[in-house]
Amino acid sequence: MTEDLSSAVAPARERPSHPPPCPRCAAPCWWNGWRLVNPVIADPSGTAARAEQWLARAKCSACKRSFTCLPEVLYPRRQYQLDVVAEVVAEVSLGDSSAAAAAREVGASPTSARRWVNWVAGLGSPSELLRVAAWIDPAAPVGIGLSRHAGDGVCARAARVLDALEQLGAALGRRGVALAMRSGLGRVLGWQRSYFGDVVSLVSEPKVLSPAMALGGAPRGP
Ligand SMILES: [Zn+2]
């Protein structure tokens, strides 16, 4: 079950004295109000909880673009955050939970759970993810155990992608990449967003991970 943390404490409005530069043109920005969001996040024990919070908005002095300043722990345009999505997909594809039962645990609909499983299954090629993991950390024991998710069904495909994402997320962690999220899905997509500026949408049809993910697009940072 999701707990509702929003009614307990009014969320604080906190922001630094100056906004970050514009993500599009790097010009200085000014603060431009607030946005109240209501994401479902996984707390440290793995329990999904709705956590209402205020996010500062900024506006560019040059190109006039407005944007919301998101902390690293929040993935853009997602109510159900990636660690929660990963947990539901794991329960359906690796465990024996039905989509309805796994969805109920986090307060989502069965339709959402089925959509997440499909989305993860189409997110990328497990072998490509493992190649990136081996490239980032040549000592990584990549690929071990992937063959246990045999089959052509969507659950088996989602399980292989999730497993490969876990291995890539672990490789990133061992190489000192700062990772705000805990699941492989959250770590890999968070890393893509921080280092390459890519945001993958879960709303429409599955979009594979960006070309920046492919070998040859060297990750920046440690
Ligand atoms: Zn700008």
pLDDT in tens, 21-40: 998 999 999 999 999 999 99
**Interval 71-82: pLDDT, tens:** 888 888 888 999
Q: What is the pLDDT of residue 210?
A: 52
**Longest Cα–Cα distance in the chain:** 54
Q: What is the pLDDT of residue 63?
A: 97
The C-alpha atoms of residue 191 and residue 177 are separated, in whole angstroms, by 8
Residue 80 DSSP symbol: B
Percent of the chain topping pLDDT 90: 47
Q: Which residue has the higher pLDDT, 88 or 10?
A: 88
Q: Is 203 helix (H, G, I), strand (E, B) or coil?
A: coil
Q: Which residue has the higher pLDDT, 46 or 156?
A: 156
What is the distance in A from the centroid of ligand 1 to the CA of 22?
5
What is the distance in A from the centroid of ligand 1 to the CA of 67?
10
Ligand 1 (single-atom ion) residues, CB below 5 Å: 22, 24-25, 27, 60, 62-63
Is the pLDDT at 216 greater than 50? The verdict is no
Q: Which amino acid is at 74?
A: L
Q: What is the three-state SS of 150-196?
A: CCCCHHHHHHHHHHHHHHHHHHHHHCCCCCCCCCHHHHHHHHHHHHH
**Interval 94-144: pLDDT, tens:** 888 899 999 999 999 999 999 999 999 988 888 888 888 888 888 877 666
What is the distance in A from the centroid of ligand 1 to the CA of 20?
11
The C-alpha atoms of residue 97 and residue 158 are separated, in whole angstroms, by 14
